[in-house]
Amino acid sequence: MKQLLVFMFFFSNLAYVYSQTATPKQYSSRSNYNLSDTLKNTDIRERLVQLALNNPAYEVSDRLTNVAYYQLHLAKGNWLSAISAQGNINEYTLNPSSAGYTTITTGTTVSKIANQSYYPKYNFGLSLPFDIFTRNSNNVKIAREQYLIAQANRNDKFRQIKADVLTKYEDYLLAKQKLELQIQMTQEAYTNYQIAERDYRLNVIKVEDYNKAYKNWAGEQVTKLDLQRNLNVTKIDLEKIIGVKLDDVIREN
């Protein structure tokens, strides 16, 4: 019985030591960024990228990497699940009297001798599959490849998010510049329309010239509204990725 306990204790310690060695470096948990932390003085593009890392799409990729790490960790210790140890102690070892007695009569003397025919008193066994090492080795290799794939997917997701947020920021800048130019053009068209309206009242120009000035101003006004809408949409798309108001990011910069 003592040998069985020592044997099981040895394997439990071996499993613990094995599980604590040769483990890959795990990704640290994701950091939450806000507008008042160390990113405050960095370039606005870098800040947008860092804020985008809190996007749920990136969080899923990050957590899948952690799952793959834990699976690899488990695969390294799964070889112990294939080993089984068994042992038993017969009831006569615990209670010798249950084996019965043999009565021996010698003359006038009657003696009782306990039966000792129950062997072994205890036994134990170990079951070890023949393919335990090759199977576990392949399982560990598979888990390691899955972990590396998860890492690659995570890095690819980071590049995608970075490219997406920077592209949308450039779209925002372009839309903003277009709107600013259009505002000037619309203002000039409106000024020309006011002059044409005055000249028409003074009979300096014909009605055709007046209508032309009005249509030109109205067309520029419609273009300005379209560009304003485009600017608003680019802001919405960018804010969907970074999770905060773009105006707040710009203000803090």
Q: Which CATH number does the domain housing residue 60 bear?
A: 1.20.1600.10
Q: Which of 25-39, 55-69, 141-155, 170-184 has the highest mean pLDDT?
A: 170-184
Mean pLDDT of 54-71: 80
Confidence of residue 74 (pLDDT cuts 50, 70, 90): confident
**Contact between residue 240 and residue 165 where contact means Cβ atoms under 8 Å apart:** no
In a domain, 111, yes or no: no
- DSSP classification of residue 107: T
In a domain, 114, yes or no: no
Lowest mean pLDDT among 16-20, 175-179, 212-216: 16-20
Please give the distance of CA 117 from its chain centroid, rounded to a whole number. 65
In angstroms, rounded to a whole number, what is the distance separating the alpha carbons of residues 75 and 162? 34
pLDDT of 142 over the 70 cut = yes
Size of the chain, expressed as the number of residues it contains: 253
In a domain, 170, yes or no: yes
In angstroms, rounded to a whole number, what is the distance separating the alpha carbons of residues 10 and 202? 109
Q: Which of 67-71, 110-114, 122-126, 155-159 has the highest mean pLDDT?
A: 155-159
Q: What is the pLDDT of residue 31?
A: 41
In a domain, 233, yes or no: yes
- Domain range for 63: 2-87+133-252
Number of domains observed in the structure of the chain:
1
Confidence of residue 1 (pLDDT cuts 50, 70, 90): very low
In a domain, 158, yes or no: yes
What is the average pLDDT score of the chain? 75
Question: For the packed helices 132-201 and 207-242, what is the interaxial angle rounded to 10 degrees?
Answer: 160
Q: What is the pLDDT of residue 16?
A: 44
Structure tokens of 225? 């509204």
In angstroms, rounded to a whole number, what is the distance separating the alpha carbons of residues 186 and 188? 5
In angstroms, rounded to a whole number, what is the distance separating the alpha carbons of residues 142 and 7? 31
pLDDT of 106 over the 70 cut = no
In a domain, 110, yes or no: no
In a domain, 121, yes or no: no
In a domain, 108, yes or no: no
Has this prediction a pTM greater than 0.85? no
Q: What is the pLDDT of residue 153?
A: 84
Structure tokens of 103? 């009565």
